[in-house]
Structure 1
Amino acid sequence: MAEKEVIKTLEELLTGSHAHVSFEDAVKGVPEKIRGIIPENMPYSIWQLVEHIRIAQWDILEFSKNPGHQSPPWPEGYWPKDPAPKDNDAWEESIARIKKDCAEFIKLLKRPGADLYEPFSHGNGQHLFREALLIADHTSYHTGEIVAVRRMLGAWK
């Protein structure tokens, strides 16, 4: 029973918004004209933050399920060079991929017989529980940055 509660809690952490704004809420309604603006004294645009979340989450997902996965080079492989998406379809696709990859990671947690704490056969002792917390922590950190950039650009409630 305790394991099911841990998985339920991790799923809520990955998809919900208890103590902070959810990723979904942070990107909802971002005007197309501001997605590529890098505010003064900030290193990234909203687009770059969204893409960074997507790439990092994808990397963690692939690492968690594939012992042969090769991560992109750090840091250039995790950050898009272009400050703006090429079009609205690229924006929508990135957000959809984040949602899809998160759902796929949750499936790993819910897999019959999955041991949340068993270290992977590869890596340095990482396990599903750690990787779930890593995705949640990383996404919430950058989601906060998205909200901050939106505030700087006058596009937040």
Structure 2
Amino acid sequence: MVNDKNVLTDEIIKLLNGGTAHATFDDAIAGLPTQHRGQIPNGLPYSIWQLVEHIRIALWDMLEFSKDGNHQSPKWPDGYWVKDEAPENDEAWDKSLNQIKTNLAEMIDLVKTGDLFTQIPHGDGQTLLREALQAADHTAYHVAEIIIIRRLLGTWES
């Protein structure tokens, strides 16, 4: 007999990792030329760097909210978007990417071990299931934007 919770957990993890129906975060940034991290194509409001940082901040916030009743979310919307169009240096870029990977792994561990259905005590109806699905959906949405920017910059090979 199939364990429904295991099936659901496995599907959430697939969704968090991305790639089942679309490109992953790692796919979207692979081979990105350094000089394109901070470019903003004509008519768009942000750069790839700003999207990467937005993904990092939002994922961190959803993770921390899911596990820490004392967590304070950034002020919306300013606290979720950086003003700098480009990272200060390669170290800042790598630090952001590493935090995304670390927080994603921690969210996956929380999904594996946590109660998906009980409301988070310090929330207003949220569950771990909702936070994990929101994290996956949010990241996928912005991964698509990264790919669009790369297409506009001529740096995406599908």
Match for residue 18 of structure 2? 16
TM-score by length of structure 2 reads 0.96
Structure 1's consecutive aligned runs of 4 or more residues displaced over 3 angstroms after TM superposition are: none
Match for residue 73 of structure 2? 71
> Which segments of 5 or more consecutive residues in structure 1 lack a partner in the other structure?
none
User: For 1:103-148, what per-residue CA distance to the aligned partner results, in whole angstroms no more than 9, with x for missing partners?
Assistant: 001111111xx32010011111101110011001100000000000
Distance 1:137 1:46 in 2: 18
Residue 152 of structure 1 aligns with an amino acid whose one-letter code is L
Match for residue 153 of structure 1? 153
Q: Percent identity?
A: 53
Distance 2:111 2:132 in 1: 8
Residue 109 of structure 1 aligns with an amino acid whose one-letter code is V
User: Is 1:102 paired with 2:97?
Assistant: no
Match for residue 84 of structure 1? 86
Q: Aligned with 1:90: secondary structure?
A: helix
Contact 2:37 2:86 survives alignment (8 Å)? yes
TM-score by length of structure 1 reads 0.97
User: For 1:71-98, what per-residue CA distance to the aligned partner results, in whole angstroms no more than 9, with x for missing partners?
Assistant: 0011111001100000011111111111
**CA RMSD, 1 decimal:** 0.7
Residue 86 of structure 2 aligns with an amino acid whose one-letter code is A
Residue 105 of structure 2 aligns with an amino acid whose one-letter code is A
Match for residue 51 of structure 1? 53
Match for residue 142 of structure 2? 142
Distance 1:118 1:109 in 2: 12
| 1:33 CA displacement | 0.5
| 1:16 CA displacement | 2.9
Residue 140 of structure 1 aligns with an amino acid whose one-letter code is A
Distance 2:136 2:108 in 1: 12
Distance 1:64 1:19 in 2: 26
Q: How many residues align?
A: 155
User: Is 1:42 paired with 2:44?
Assistant: yes
Distance 1:67 1:108 in 2: 15
